[in-house]
Structure formats: structure tokens, C-alpha cells
Structure 1
Amino acid sequence: MKALLFFAPLLRPHVARFAGTLVLALVTLAAGTALLGVSGWFLTATALTALGVSFNLFAPSAAVRGFSFIRILSRYFEKLVGHNATLRLLSDLRRWLFGALFPRLPLANRSMRHGDLVTRLTADVDALDTVFLLAIGPFIAAIVLGGGVSAVLFTLLPAAGWIYLAAIIVAVVVVPMVLLFTTRQNGKALVEAAATLRANVLDAVIGQDDIVAFGQQDWTSRRFARATAALGSQKTRQALATAIAAGTIQVLTGVSLITIIVFGLDALTAETIEGPILAAIVFGIMGSFEATGVIVRSIGKTGEAIASAERLKDIATGPISIRDPLSPALLPGDDTVRFDAVSFAYPDGARIIDHLDLTLAPGDHVAISGMSGAGKSTLLHLLLRLADPTKGAITIGGTDIRDVCQVELHARLALLSQDSPVFLDTVRANLTLARPGATDAELFAALAKARLTETIRALPLGLDTVIGETGATLSAGQARRLCLARTLLSPATILVLDEPTAGLDRDTELEFFSDLKAALSGRTVVMATHAHLPPELPLRRLELRDGAIDELAS
């Protein structure tokens, strides 16, 4: 429950809406109970007065219609206001969560699978609507209504009142609490099983080519079947526990009705209560238990909501590895980059960079090669301050980048990596990510440097053409050039290229390299690559080996 309370501050701006939902829920339940009670009284009174020959039908029939309309309208607006409040709250939660998550990227838990992170940001957030919409409101409404019905019974049938009060307390409080206790661990296991299944599906989609190429379809199917069976088993346990709780509620309802009838018949015999009143009480008792069914169904999902809240809290409160200084310095105009005795190691691994020294003059174009795992990407991440050195310092213009605000640092640096995304949006939106408000002339100038102008002009709507997700409507080379154009559009004076030609065929790779000199002229370029570079490419060639840099002959 502490994990749920962690998100309570996000509820404050929506308290008025949820209070309105609670009032409407109470009105709905009260109107339904009153409708059943008046209907029972009306039918009984009519039967006892010779089929209504001398009975005033107008008032009770008007009451029946009135309570019916009230119930319909209040239920409609309860759903309208409640869902509106919940959707607003979940929207705020997502916005807050992304705001809390970004400073913590990359996550300290490096073993977390992408599918699990996606689950936390989608399904786990959605799971919280069970608590906000289905559990709290009906619970409070049932308590209030049960108290009101108990007060009526204590007035008319005092002996039965105590039994009803005990039954309603057990139905509204004890049964849900027992259900919550028994399903808490199962809810956690269910959420984990669902996350595993989603991760397996994502792995299969992403790795489909390799799975087919290596003939592992059967293995993938078996893994998927195991994950599905595990999730099905947890859902079965959850459904069984909920069904037992719902059955217990029905037993309590039956006990209450039998008690009312027994004590009511005694009172009727003693002429201390009239038959129509007794019928109204019986029907009213049935209506008062209406909310308990909703509570049981929602509590059955609360274990999942608690587990989801714990998972969300886990990523939202994780350590922030990179923090801005309290008194940030300003970067000078000098773009000289210096690595001074820089070392780096992950907490759970060996040292990757070891006392590395490197100086890049403004306008230098440097290509860093090395074996896989040598630390090329790590070196670039340190320059971008996606991580900090464990020893040594990285300076720009003599200023340690740890003393600079990250926003200012990243305005000076721009990244083009093998994973640079092409978004499911227009060409314009993909480009202006680097410079919002850029003019068409500026966009086409960047496209020209990336040799993509004619391709974009040939599209149906030019810059306003929507390109497919991950650039599916473009070739691999065109998608990489679009990312290059976006990088070139950035006002950054230091460009960081991490395996920019990965996944391209050799001809496309050579075309890409041939454009770099003109496209990147006047900027400092640091490129990590496995590619065999054309000998005519004017670059300083460095090799990263055993955590240190060696200069190679051009």
C-alpha cells in the first residue's frame, strides 16, 4: 500500500472531480436502493388493497419513475465524471513518470529488458485506474449507504439491524481485506508474468529475422507457450479467489434477507410493522448490497495495482547518475576537447577506459576504431555526459563538462548513432527536432548536405510527407541520411557519430563517407566506427585498445 500512497500527491489536483464522482456514486446506490424499496412497498400495498381499487397510485408510481430517472442520470454522470477524472490523473501520472524517468536514463538496472520497461510505462500505469476509479469510490459509497440502511433498521427492526450491520461490514470491509491479502502475492506474480509475456513477444518481433534464419521458431513458440501458461495460471488463481469472495457476498446477502424476513414476520404478527413496509425493507436490503459486487471485482485487481505501483515507484525513484552542478559554469567559445587521464568502469564490470589522454582541436575530424567491446561507444557517452568518468576529467575549452549545465552542454554537442530514430511523423517534424522553428530553406540546406534533397522533393507532400515508423518508407541509406541531415541542422559545433554506417551495405557506406567532408566542414567531429575507412578520407585515425588511444598513420 505504501507504493500506492507514494502517488497520492498526484491525486490532489483532481480531488474535486473524484469527490463529485463519489457523491454521484452514492446518489446512484441510494436511488437504486430507494427504487427497489418503493417498488416493493408499492406492489405489496397495491395487492393488500384489493388490486388498487381504493389505492392512490399516483404518488408511489411517480416515486418509482423519479428514482429510476435519478439512478439513470446519476450513473451516467458518475461514469462521465469518474472516467474523466481518472484519465486526467493517468495523464498527469504518465507526464510525471516520464519527467522522473528521463534524468535517470540510462537506468541503473542495466539488466531490465526493453519489453519490461514498455510494460511499466503502459500496462502498469493503466492498472492504477482500478484503485482510483473502481475501489475507493464504491467502498466509501457502500459504507455510507450501509450505515443509512442500518439506521433505518435500528428504528424499525432493531434486532435485525445488528445482524445486517455485521453482514454489511463483513461484505464491505472484511471480505475485500481478506481477498486483498490472499491475492497480493498472486497479483505481483500476475504482473510479472504479463511483463514476461510482453517482453517475449517484443523479442520475437524484433528478432524475427534471426529466429527464422536459425530455425528457432519451435523454441520461440515453446517459450511463448510457457509464458502464456504461467500468465493463465495466475489469472485462474485470481479468478478463483474473486469468485469465492463474490460467493461469500451472496451468502451474506442471503443471511441478511432471511434475518429481515424472520424478524419482520414476527413484527408483522405483533402488528408493530406493516406488510408494505416489510417488503420495502427486504427489497432495500437487496439494493444496499449492490456496491459490494463492484468492490470485490475491483479488489481482485488491487493486488495487480499495488504490484504495478511498486514497479513504477522503482523506476521513478532510482538513482540519478548525472546531476547538474548547483552553480553551473558557462562553456567558453573555444571548442578544444580534452580527455585528461580519463578512466571509466561500470559498477559491475572491469575497467573499460584506463587513464586515456586525447586532445581534439576545433575543427578536427577524428575516427576511432577498435574491437567490439573496446569502449568506443563508452568514450562517446562520456563526452556527451551520459555517464561520468570514474577518474580524470573531460574539458571543452578548458571547462570540465561536469561543471556545465547539461542543457548547455548538449546545445554544443550533437549525436548521430546507429540507433538514431526516424519517427512516425513528417519529414519536417523529424528534422525540426534538432532546431524547432527552422525555415524550409534551412531544412533543405541540411538535406542538401546529406544528399537527400531530390528524394524529399519527390515525396507526395515534400517536407510534410509522413514517413513510416523507423523510416519504413525510406531505404536504409536514406533513413540514415535523414538522421544526418537532422544532426547537421543542429547548431552544435561538436558532432559525435557512433557507428553511423552500421547496417548499410558497402556501396551505401562509401557514399555516406564521401559526403562527410563537405557536410561536416567547420565542425569538430568525433566518430567511432568499425567500418573500413576510404584512405582518401581526411581524418585523424585513432585506435582504442586496452582502454588507451593510439594514433594511426593516415
Structure 2
Amino acid sequence: MSNDRTMLQYWLQLLVWQHRGRLLLAAALTLLTALFGLALLGLSGWFITATAVVGAILLAGGSAFLELYMPGSGIRFFALGRTISRYAERVFSHQLVLEQLARVRVQLFQGLAHLPDSALQQAQDADWLNRLTTDLEQLDTVLLRLLLPPASLLLVWLLLGGFFAVWSVPLALGFLLVGLPLLLLILALFIRQSVALNYQLSALLNESRQQVITQLEGLDELRVAGQLQAEQQAVVQLLALIDGKQHRVSQQQALSQLLLQLLHGGLVLFVALLAVAGYQHGWFSGPVAVMLVLPVLALSELLQPLPGQLASAGRSWFAAKRLYPLATQPEPAAAAGDEALNTVQLQLHRYGRIAASLQRPFALHLSAERPVLLVSGASGTGKSSLAELLVRDTLPGAAELRWNGRVRSAWQQAGLHQQVALLSQQSGMLADTLRTNLMVGLSDVTEQRLWQVLIQVELDQWAQSLPKQLDTWLGDSGQQVSGGQARRINLARWLLRSPRLVILDEPFYGLDQAQAARIWQAIQPWMQGRLVLLLLHHRPDFLADGWPELSLNLDTTTEETIS
């Protein structure tokens, strides 16, 4: 329970308290819109009734006087005010929600960047996708559905009770002391029942999305294994559970709306009876009696959407609980003393993902005396697995990794992103400009420096031919670049940094031999003074003879050969 309280305090701080001034303004605009609507209906009712009464008196041969301009101007004022305030409230509150979600999104991605590998691997990719999309978007209901509508209704109710007190104290007391507690009771019962149910529904929907995504990713494997129908049947059963939960949610909303309609109808009848009694006793005129009833009728505009709005509380609570650990993920401690990485030692024995280690102990060593190493091997021998081991925060029992002669500790892991550069076989591209794709994680790189690295990877002429050069949009996931161009953009990212250990996994994929040789020669100055691990299928002709080679092929009889 204390964890839930702490989590609630965190989200209230982030979504409410930090924006309290603007939230009050949004609430004021929402309240103003509602009041303009009630005043418009009430004054219109008074004016129509007064006009009818005066017309009846004139038809009967009597004399009567009615001021037309003042109430007519009031009606136009309230109508125009309602339109303007509604527009301002929608624009302002939605802008505020977008800013809130942007702030939360930054928190989430920072937390995701700080998560250790072991935590990342505890959830499927589909689950992380759900958290960063569906769950995040569910938080926009906190302001638009859970805070502003109920707060606006409560304030309108109180102000309307004060307005009634001007004309009839019994009317005001009945409206406030009977109607308001009944309203709060109905809403409290609905929230108590719906939060748990909508929480369960959100959990089922999340599970179904994960199952569908997982099935789509492994569709061919499931079909070959003959398990596709069984997996699909599991999804169908899950969808049946979801349908049952949704039916119960709909029933709860319908029941609460019925109770609110009964309450609303009873209030209208109560106010109408007292208004008629007041008119008969001469406490106020007939038009005033009508004016008292019509605002109560207008409350239906605030009452009827309320169950649907409050039903999102359970879904928002589910999203908040799932996002809380990620949003509050602490930043790793800085590396003590900023110790530079000078030696790397990796030992493997019977590690299943690198077949060579099953036959004999496998050892990899880089140091200032021996700063470069080529690891060769056919596809499937474990070159990428080897690269992955060097950047993981947790290692399997079959592996031991030492930095500077010591088993890599947590504080050394904190400096991993500054110490190590990994060019993996997957050329990841962002849906953004060329400049942004080059400067991932950097903010102080000059344009001159960007062009320098583009020259090194032979992309400068291509970049100059783009419509906006560095600021050209590369499409979703880099769809407007070829595989070879994406590879070189990924390499250029690392040329902008100063890591101590450089791991290049098939850096020349998609390049011809001559171009690979030129780029390799161009980046030699950058690699000087660093530890470099080169992972390739075979030794290229342009690689200097001084590079030692370690083979992962099973038929290799020697662990290391020097050309």
C-alpha cells in the first residue's frame, strides 16, 4: 500500500503539482464554459417566459413593459462567451496535456537508457512497445477526463446552490445537502467498482497485444512447428475474456448513468415544485421560476459523460503502475575517478553461443601493447555474440570479463557508454534528419566536424546532393538510404566520439572492396591510441599485416595466427 501511495505521489507531482498554475487556469476555463452555458439557458428561459407573459397581458388588453435590449445583450454575451471559453479551454488543456506527455516521454526514455541489460531482457520487445505507446497515451486522460470534468461539475454545483440561495434558501439547502451527497455517493460506488474492473481489462488488452505481436514475429516458425492454430486459439480465448470484461464495464457505466439520470430527474422535479411554490407565494415572478429550473436541466451536459470519463481511472492506474519503475529508474553512478580503459580480457569456456569455446578454452586480450585484434569466422560462429558479451552488464557463468585487470564492476559499467563503441551488424536509423542520425546523444558537434566525418566515410557528395543537405529527412527508419549508406552513417556516428574500446562487427557490409579499403585507410588516424576489435568473415586484403587474428571456425587448429 505504501508503494502505491509513493507512486501516486510521484505522478501527482509530475502531472499535477509541477503544472499547478496552468492546471488552475485550465480548470477556470472549463468552469467558465459550464457557467456560460447554464447562464445562457437560464437567461433564455427567463426572457422567453417574460416575453410570453407580457404578450399574454397585452392580448388581454392590459399594459405591461419589458426591457428587451438588456436581456438580449446578455444572451448574446453568454453565447459568445461560451464559444470563446470552450475554444480556449480545449486549446489550452490539450496543449498542456501534450507538454505533460512530452515530459513523461523524456523521463521514460531516460529510464530506458539507464536500464541494465538484465532488466531489459526480462520483458519482451512487444511489452516495451506497449509501455512507450499505449500506456503513455493513457496518461492523457488524467487531466482531460479525471481532473477537469469532476472538478468543474462540483464547482458548478456549489455555485448553482449559491445562486438558488438568492431566491430560496430551502431550495438551495435541498439542492446542496441532499443532491450533492447523493451525487458523490453514486460516483464513489461507480469508481470503487470500475477501477478494479478496468485495471483487469487493461491487463488483458496488454497481454493480447503482446501475444499478437509475438505471433506475427514468429509466424513462419509457428507454422512450420504446427503450433500456429494452438497459438491462435489461445488469442481467441483471451479475446473472449476481454469481451466479457468489456460487457461488465458497459453494464457498470449504464447503471451509473441510469442512477445519475434518476438523480437529475429528481432534482429537476424538486426544483420545479419549489419554484412553482415560490411563484404561488409571491416570492418571485414566473420568469424567475423558469430561470431556476432550466440551469438544473442543463446539468445533464456535465452529468451524462461522467461515468465514461471516470471509467478511465482503472486504465490510467494500470498504465501508471507499469510506467512508474521505468520513469523512476535511477541514473547509474558515474565511473569512479573516470578511470580510462587500457586492457580488456575475455575468457570463455563452453559458452553455447560461441561454438569454438565448446572445443577449447577461448581467450581474447587487448592492451596498449596489443591494441588491435581481428576475429574471423563464418556466419553463425558467434562473432556478434562475442561483441554482445563485451557490452553486457551481466555475463553468463561461462564467461569472465576483466577491465584493467579487474572483474568489471558496477561503477565501471556506468562508464560503458563513454568507454565503448559498438558498430553492430544492425544499421539502426532514426526517423529523422541526417544531422540527427549523426549526432545521436551529442549536442556540441560543429557542422564542420559533421562534414569531416562524412568525408571519411565517403558520404559527403551524397549529403551535398540532398535537398536540405544535413537537415534532409531520411524517412521512417532511414527508408531513403541504402544499406551501404546506412552502414556508413552508423560508422560516422562513432567517429564523432572518443571511446577507448572500438568494436566493429562487419563494418564493410554493403561496400565493395575498393571503397572498404579507402574508408578503412581514412579512419586509421581516429583508431590510433584505441583498443580495436574487428569482427569479419575473413581477413581482407587491405588489412595491415600487424593485425593478429583469432578464428572462431571449428576446424581451426591454432587459437591465433599472425600474418
Q: Which amino acid aligns with 2:46?
A: W
2:299 corresponds to which letter in structure 1? S
| Matched ranges for 1:184-223 at <5 A | 184-203=195-214, 206-207=217-218
Q: Quick check: 1:336 aligned with 2:345? A: no
Q: 1:223 to 1:258 in 2, by over 3 A?
A: same
SS, match of residue 415 in structure 1 = strand
Residue matched to 1:540: 549
| Alignment gaps of 5+ in structure 1 | 346-351
The answer (yes or no) to whether the contact 2:104–2:327 under 8 Å persists in 1 is no
**Does the C-alpha gap of structure 1 residues 249 and 217 become closer, same or farther in structure 2, counting only changes over 3 Å?**
same
2:122 alignment partner, SS class = coil
Give the C-alpha shift of residue 359 in structure 1: 3.3
Distance 1:155 1:427 in 2: 67
CA contact (8 A) 1:135 1:299 kept: yes
Contact preservation (8 Å) 1:542, 1:552: yes
2:500 corresponds to 1:496: no
Structure-1 separation of matches of 2:307 and 2:103: 27
Q: CA deviation at 1:110?
A: 2.6
8 Å contact from structure 2 (residues 260, 303) kept in 1: yes
1:483 counterpart (486, 490, 493): 490
Does the CA-based 8 Å contact 2:348-2:362 persist in structure 1?
Answer: yes
Q: Which residue of 1 aligns with 2:78?
A: 67
C-alpha displacement at 1:258, in angstroms? 1.5
Corresponding position of 2:306: 295
Note the C-alpha offset of 1:380.
Answer: 0.9
Identical aligned residues as a percent:
23
Give the whole-Å Cα distance in 2 for the aligned partners of 1:62 and 1:426: 55
Q: What number of residue pairs does the alignment pair up?
A: 526
Q: 1:512 to 1:108 in 2, by over 3 A?
A: farther
Question: Which of residues 142, 160, 167 in structure 2 aligns to 1:149?
Answer: 160
Gaps of 5+ in 2: 59-63, 352-357
Give the drift of 1:488: 4.4
1:415 and 1:496 in contact (8 A); partners too? yes
The amino acid across from 1:361 in the alignment is S
Cα distance in 2 between the residues matched to 1:212 and 1:130: 40
Q: Which residue of 1 aligns with 2:146?
A: 135
Letter in 1 for 2:431: L
The residue number in structure 1 matching 2:402 is: 394
Which amino acid is 1:56 matched to? L
Find the partner of 2:456 among 446, 449, 452.
Answer: 446
For 1:417, the equivalent position in structure 2 comes to: 424
Task: State the shift of 1:47 in Å.
Answer: 2.0
Contact 2:111 / 2:329 at 8 angstroms: preserved in 1? no
TM-score using structure 1 length: 0.78
| Aligned alpha-carbon RMSD (Å) | 4.3
Per-residue deviation at 1:255?
A: 0.8
Cα distance 1:479–1:393, how it changes in 2: closer, same or farther (>3 A)?
A: closer
Cα deviations by residue, 1:307-326 (Å, 9 ceiling, x for unpaired): 11111113234577x5325x
Q: Which of residues 369, 373, 376 in structure 2 aligns to 1:365?
A: 373
- Measure, in 2, the Cα distance between the counterparts of 1:108 and 1:178: 39
TM-superposed CA distance for 1:175, in Å, is 2.3
Determine whether 1:284 maps to 2:292. no
Number of the residue aligned with 1:349? none
Instruction: Give TM-score scaled by structure 2 length.
Output: 0.77
Shift of the alpha carbon at 1:414?
A: 1.1
Change (3 A) 1:513 1:69: closer
Give how far 1:287 is off: 2.1
2:66 aligned to 43, 46, 56, which one? 56
- Structure 1 466/317 Cα, relative in aligned 2: closer, same or farther at 3 Å? closer
Say whether residues 1:6 and 2:10 are aligned partners. Answer: yes
Could you report, residue by residue, the CA deviation over 1:348-384 in whole angstroms, capped at 9, with x for unpaired residues?
Answer: xxxx9xx9975312332142879669963453125xx
Cα deviation, residue 216, structure 1: 7.8
Task: Give the letter for the 1:75 counterpart.
Answer: R
Change (3 A) 1:188 1:195: same
1:254 maps onto 2:265 in alignment: yes
1:348 corresponding residue in structure 2:
none
> CA deviation digits over 1:174-196, x for unaligned, max 9?
22222222121222223223333
- The separation in 2 between residues aligned to 1:486 and 1:215, in whole angstroms, is 44
CA gap of 1:178–1:12, structure 2 versus 1, over 3 A, is: same
- Distance of aligned partners of 1:256 and 1:378 in 2 relative to their CA distance in 1, 3 Å threshold: same
Distance change (3 Å), C-alpha of 1:441 and 1:534: closer
Moved more, 301-310 or 283-292: 283-292
SS of residue matched to 2:282: coil
How far apart, in 2, do the equivalents of 1:456 and 1:309 lie?
Answer: 43
Q: Which amino acid aligns with 1:147?
A: L
Q: Distance in 2 between matches of 1:196 and 1:270?
A: 65
Q: Look up the match of 2:532.
A: 525
Give the residue type in structure 2 aligned to 1:416. Answer: L
Per-residue CA deviation, residues 23-48 of structure 1 (Å, 9 max, x unaligned), is 12222222222222222222222222
Aligned to 2:317: 306
Q: Secondary structure, in 3 states, of the residue corresponding to 1:496?
A: strand
Look up the SS of the partner of 2:254 in the other structure: helix
